[in-house]
Amino acid sequence: TAGITQAPTSQILAAGRSMTLRCTQDMRHNAMYWYRQDLGLGLRLIHYSNTAGTTGKGEVPDGYSVSRANTDDFPLTLASAVPSQTSVYFCASSSGTGESGELFFGEGSRLTVL
Amino acid sequence: GQNIDQPTEMTATEGAIVQINCTYQTSGFNGLFWYQQHAGEAPTFLSYNVLDGLEEKGRFSSFLSRSKGYSYLLLKELQMKDSASYLCAVIDSGYALNFGKGTSLLVTP
């Protein structure tokens, strides 16, 4: 079972360049999320989508954009990367609220901005 | 806003019991999750509490007191493979989980 697939697994990017991190899920979950994880700061929510066609801002949305054209895909775009965006990015999905709010995570994308 | 606190690091001995505490102050409350994360891997679900009390799952138990804004994860019969980070997360008024910074647990022989 695939679950959530993220690509690329890792990437080195020059500052100022754009980058799209891809995320696809095959569980037909309504909600999808992007988190970044940094040492000492934990997982922080960047953007989320409660259902296809809608998106919302999380705790640290600046410098990032998302789209949700369909249920399965939730790409995260960095329009002009900066070194502070060096992080591990996790895509996640959930089927609903309450106990259904359990998040299923992808394996992560490690991004280094130089 | 939300504030979720847990200890940064803990050390315990193989075979022992360890309790990892989590306190939270959130604008709403729709449940509390515990996740386990091994180094270099994605977090994986351990437990969910929405009502006060203890939920037991094998060697792992999780407790919640909503009036105190407090939860703990209890790990019994510790094994070396339990060395990992343990993440406390709260759903406030929406869908998204808000995570604490995590507790790094080291199990020693």
State residue A97's pLDDT score: 64
Question: CB-based contact (8 Å) between A62 and chain B?
Answer: no
Q: Give me the phi and psi of B9, to 5 degrees please.
A: -140, 150
**What residue in B sits closest to A57 (Cα-Cα)?**
B96
B109 preceded by a cis bond (ω within 30 of 0)? no
State residue A100's pLDDT score: 67
| Contact predicate A33/A44, CB 8 Å | no
Q: Pinpoint the alpha helices (H) of B4-89.
A: none
Q: What residues in chain A have per-residue pLDDT under 70?
A: 1, 97-100
Say how many CB pairs under 8 Å bridge A and B.
65
Q: One digit per residue, pLDDT tens: chain B, 109 residues?
A: 469 999 999 999 999 999 999 999 988 888 999 999 999 999 999 999 999 999 998 999 999 999 999 999 999 999 999 999 999 999 887 778 899 999 999 999 9
State residue A102's pLDDT score: 85
Q: Determine, for residues A103 and B97 on separate chains, whether the beta-carbon distance falls below 8 Å.
A: yes
Q: Which of B30, B96, B101 sits opposite A42 (nearest CB)?
A: B101
Q: Determine, for residues A40 and B101 on separate chains, whether the beta-carbon distance falls below 8 Å.
A: yes
State residue A1's pLDDT score: 60
Q: Determine, for residues B42 and A108 on separate chains, whether the beta-carbon distance falls below 8 Å.
A: yes
State residue B96's pLDDT score: 81
Cα distance between the two ends of chain B: 41
Which contacts (CB < 8 Å, 24+ apart) does range B16-19 have? B16/B78, B17/B74, B17/B75, B17/B76, B17/B77, B17/B78, B18/B74, B18/B75, B18/B78, B18/B105, B19/B72, B19/B73, B19/B74, B19/B75
